[in-house]
Structure 1
Amino acid sequence: MKKLVIIPAYNESKSIERTVQDILTNAPDFDYVIINDCSTDNTLEVCRKNNFNVVDLPINMGIGGAVQTGYLYAFRNGYDMAVQFDGDGQHDAKYLDSMSEYLTENALDMVIGSRFLEKEGFQSTGARRIGIRYFSLLIRILTGKKVSDPTSGMRLINRRVMSVYAKDYPKDYPEPESVVAILKEGMVVKEVPVVMKERSDGVSSISFKRSVYYMIKVTLAILMECLRH
């Protein structure tokens, strides 16, 4: 089984070395690729200095475009599964092997690493937890499926989902919408407990001022996705 870690990176120069080392140490069966989303700091220089496997995007495409680039890379290079993995130090590579085993043994299409199943580690801010619960409820109403952590970026998929995402992937705040898309296709999504850490460096892409836009935009996108099916 060929397995790939996709690391979208925008201005992650302070944490990208630590992220890659975590993968090399704790998930040696996985290859990795960094998608540098036109960083304005020295993320690209750090990657090149360390001979990291990096795709350097010519323009800033946002998180959705960066992740889709990774899925396209994985699909074209014959990987059997791929996992999105944040470059800011929040995710822990020690869970990747168990996630891949769970996906394979249970013939799943996606495994989401959820911080809320066992409620250990960093649980996000209070305001964001309200938003997460809202999207979890919305997804349950529209699909009948329970997803406790629909905004989790730690998601491992098989080649079937990879082929879908390589062709069509949401551009902004993509996690809830993209989960709904494959649930509506009848694919099987399960969650496993993971522990996440608070980001050590960099700045979140979702500011307080953008949170209202985020809620409205993603809600409308999810509703449109459901109408498509």
Structure 2
Amino acid sequence: MFYVSGVTGPARHVHHLWALLAMLMLSGCATFAPSPPQDQTNVCEIFREQPSWYDYARDSENQWGTPIATQMSFIQQESSFRSHVRPDRKYYLGFIPGPRPSSAKGYAQAQDPVWGEYRDQAGSLFARRTHMKHATDFIGWYNARTRAQTGISLNNPEHLYYAYHEGAGGYQRGTYRNKPHVLRAGRQVASRAGRYQAQLGACEAEFQCRKFYQVWPFCR
């Protein structure tokens, strides 16, 4: 039961109602975030669990040019499809929480400054890093910008990832070459993107025409 000091009668019941609604909204935010796919090695199974993710990735590909398979490989690498993941905090003396190493957050692990640029230039004030629609659009926007700045092909997921991790300036300076973990991650992204692309070729039709208003072949 909630009590509001100095408030009695019907007004207090109104405050109780608002408090309950707030609690429901907060609990709903946690409930509505989908669980990570069980089989992350197969993009067909990922989209079967979350069909709307296919729509978001296709919209991003149409808008910005990064293939669906590359987008999903980036997200698997960055967050393993966990919507609210953030870098682990440092702890002092084993139990005192310290700062996080970066402001990265969400599916695409976008950091605060570049996320702000995205919202200003291509997204909206309501874009959220914890929503797959905005994460896929962000990756598409970022890679399109990378291509314009560096000339990397949108069909080169390995080097797109190096630029995603290091920024266009860092990529052009070759900073990734001295970072074994980044080189390893870039190769993993490229290998996974190739596998996802092959898998998608066998199942994509399932997701292209699944809605009642879509009519073959116009839904391709």
Shorter-chain TM-score bucket reads under 0.3
**Structure number with higher relative contact order (C-alpha < 8 Å, ≥ 6 residues apart):** 1
TM-score relative to the length of structure 2: 0.24
Decide which structure has greater strand share: 1
TM-score between the two structures when normalised by the length of structure 1:
0.24
- Structure showing greater radius of gyration is 2
Question: Higher helix proportion, which one?
Answer: 2
